[in-house]
Amino acid sequence: MSSIAWLDTSADEQRRIREVIALFTQKETLDELGIGQIRDAFSDALFPGITTIQTRARYFLLVPWAYVKESRAGRSAAEVRGRVEQSERDLVRTLNRLPQQQGVIGARAGAGVKNLPSSIYWNGLLTFAILRRDTALDQLTGASRVESDGADEPASRSVGDWHPTLPAVPDGFPWTLHDGLNMTAAEASWLRERILESVPDTLLAHIVAADAPPAGDSPYPWRDPICQDAPDPVARILLHAALFSLTIQGATRLYEVLLSEAYEEAGFTTVQSGVEEYHEQFRAWLDDVDDARHQLEAWDRHDFWNEVRLRSPRVSPRTRLFVDAWTDGLFDGTVHAALESSASRKLISNREATMKGRQARLTNRKLLGQWGGGGGGGLSYRWATAKRILSDIHEGLARV
């Protein structure tokens, strides 16, 4: 059985290490300009317990069921760990036999999938107090300190680590699973209560308590009708997130302009989009900025940075200087002239050089040639995943 020795890291650091492997494949999370800590601060504030690598809400029950099923008196921690992993792989086989496989972890890789549901959902289980103590984390990771501190200690105590109202393990689990990843009304109600109790003053709680699910086609939470009547302090945090998303989207688009120009000048031709297309995307963003001028002028940036410091104290002074310089450029005309003048261009190129050194694409011909084009979207703060989780819960509540 494969395992990872996490050495001397905290549970939160372990969770981030697990997630970062998957993040590199997602355009929104490619942190080219080093603003990921700010993005994550607001993602955690709006949607705590949700990560971009989660898929469906019922996994918040499937993982605890695997542990409860296998945690019996007399079994060592090592034995429970092995049995839980086998249960999770059996579950992959079960779900892959069903006609509806949307969101199945292991749908492509099968039972040999590397990232099992337990590693993907662990932080969420803790956040929602479904897992009340993290003693079972050692069973999950197989950390070396656990092996030396009593791997043969009976592991039946881990049953008590789960919320006492956890719905009963279904008969036949994990070899059979009625309804696959669709939640029953009782399961959805139970998960909703865990969210409302554990993270009440969040956008996640606001939406889960609403009468309807989020709109399937809303690209950002602030554009979803359900989110637009959120109370304070949720509304205030959501406004900060929205204005930062709009602001930093322009920095990303200008970076893509610089890349497209350097790419074309170097004679590379794989990327189909030409320089003018990236110029047009930047101009379209300027139009969005002009439309939001009044909101941007009224933006309490001091309060914004207070929220960032509170939730992500490791954000560096250099990052703040970069964000402030770019934002100031929205009001003094510098950014609007970025396609013709050098000031904003230099700000972006210097930022990449500071972040990456010799690995900066703009100055590294090999990496420039590997550029695959830009996405140009704003930050959505895990909204796509949150919508799927929340829709699962609302759809479950509607079942009879």
Domain boundaries, the chain: 11-30+49-198, 234-369
In this predicted structure, what is the pLDDT of residue 135?
Answer: 55
* Rounded average pLDDT over 61-77: 89
pLDDT at residue 168 greater than cutoff 60: yes
In this predicted structure, what is the pLDDT of residue 16?
Answer: 52
Residue 333, phi-psi category: left (phi > 0), alpha (psi -120 to 50), beta (remainder):
left
Radius of gyration of the chain (CA): 23
Mean model confidence pLDDT for the chain: 88
* Rounded average pLDDT over 256-282: 95
Structure tokens that stand for 139 in this block: 């069973």
Give the tens place of pLDDT for each residue, 314-350.
999 999 999 999 999 999 999 999 999 899 999 999 9
pLDDT at residue 22 greater than cutoff 50: no
SS (H, E, C) the chain: CCCCCCCCCCHHHHHHHHHHHHHCCCHHHCCCCCCHHHHHHHHHHHCCCCCCCCCCCCHHHHHHHHHHHHCCCCCEHHHHHHHHHHHHHHHHHHHHCCCCCCCCCCCCCHHHCCCCHHHHHHHHHHHCCCECCCCHHHHHHCCHHHHHCCCCCECHHHHHHECCCCCCCCCCCCCCCCCCCCCCHHHHHHHHHHHHHHCCCCHHHHHHCCCCCCCCCCCCHHHCCCHHHCCCCHHHHHHHHHHHHHHHHHHHHHHHHHHHHHHHHCCCCCCCCCHHHHHHHHHHHHHHHHHCHHHHHHCCHHHHHHHHHHHCCCCCHHHHHHHHHHHHHHHHCCHHHCCCCCHHHHHHHHHHHHHHHHHCCCCCHHHHHCCCCCCCCCCCCCHHHHHHHHHHHHHHHCCC
Work out the percent of the chain whose per-residue pLDDT is above 70.
86
* Rounded average pLDDT over 144-173: 64
CA proximity to 129, closest of 49, 53, 63, 52: 49
pLDDT at residue 299 greater than cutoff 60: yes
* Rounded average pLDDT over 51-55: 96
pLDDT at residue 155 greater than cutoff 60: no
Confidence of residue 146 (pLDDT cuts 50, 70, 90): very low
pLDDT at residue 205 greater than cutoff 50: yes
Confidence of residue 109 (pLDDT cuts 50, 70, 90): very high
The position carrying tokens 């200087």 is 321
Confidence of residue 133 (pLDDT cuts 50, 70, 90): confident
